[in-house]
Amino acid sequence: MHEGLVLLDPKTQEPQPGCAHSWNVSDDGLIWTFYLQPGLQWSNGDPLDARDFRRSWLDLLDPSAGAPYGDLLESIQGAREWRQGKSLRDQVAITTPDPLTLRLKLVQPTPWLPFLCTQTPLQPVHPQALGKA
């Protein structure tokens, strides 16, 4: 595992940059874009990028995994349906326009999303740890 996109400031408990150096949200509150810091690496030296977050989050939602914390991501379009086995993995609105950008489309405004991104289950997991490398 690696630190998450967002960390909590230990004094203020406010979101602060983690793997993401910044993020923004659309005016309607439905599209969140996280910009990852360049040069991130796993502990073994492998590069870590936005695709690792996407894969880890989709794995968390996978209905066959039965992961108890997948509901943290259910504000993302298609996440609940995929988690319930009613749609396909590719219909979850988590995209990576480039290796340093993670974009989420939500079903409703979720202003607390940066706080959700501090939660341990949303930290990326190296694919080798899950036998997927």
The string of pLDDT tens digits covering residues 66-103 is 888 999 999 999 999 999 999 999 999 999 999 999 99
Dist CA 42 CA 132 (whole Å): 15
Per the structure block, which two tokens stand in for 130?
């899950």
Instruction: Provide mean pLDDT across the span 2-9.
Output: 94
Return d(Cα 69, Cα 113) in angstroms, integer: 15
- In the chain, the domains with their CATH numbers are 6-114 (3.90.76.10)
**Cα(3)–Cα(37) distance, rounded to whole angstroms?**
12
User: Is 60 in a helix, a strand, or coil?
Assistant: helix
CA–chain centroid gap for 30, Å, is 15
pLDDT tens figures, 14-69 = 999 999 999 999 999 999 999 999 999 999 999 999 999 999 999 999 999 888 89
The mean pLDDT of 118-131, rounded to a whole number, is: 90
Name every residue whose Cβ is closer than 8 Å to that of residue 86 and which is 6 or more positions away in sequence. Answer: none
pLDDT bin (cut points 50, 70, 90) of residue 132 is low
pTM, whole model, 2 decimals?
Answer: 0.94
pLDDT tier for residue 130 given thresholds of 50, 70 and 90: confident
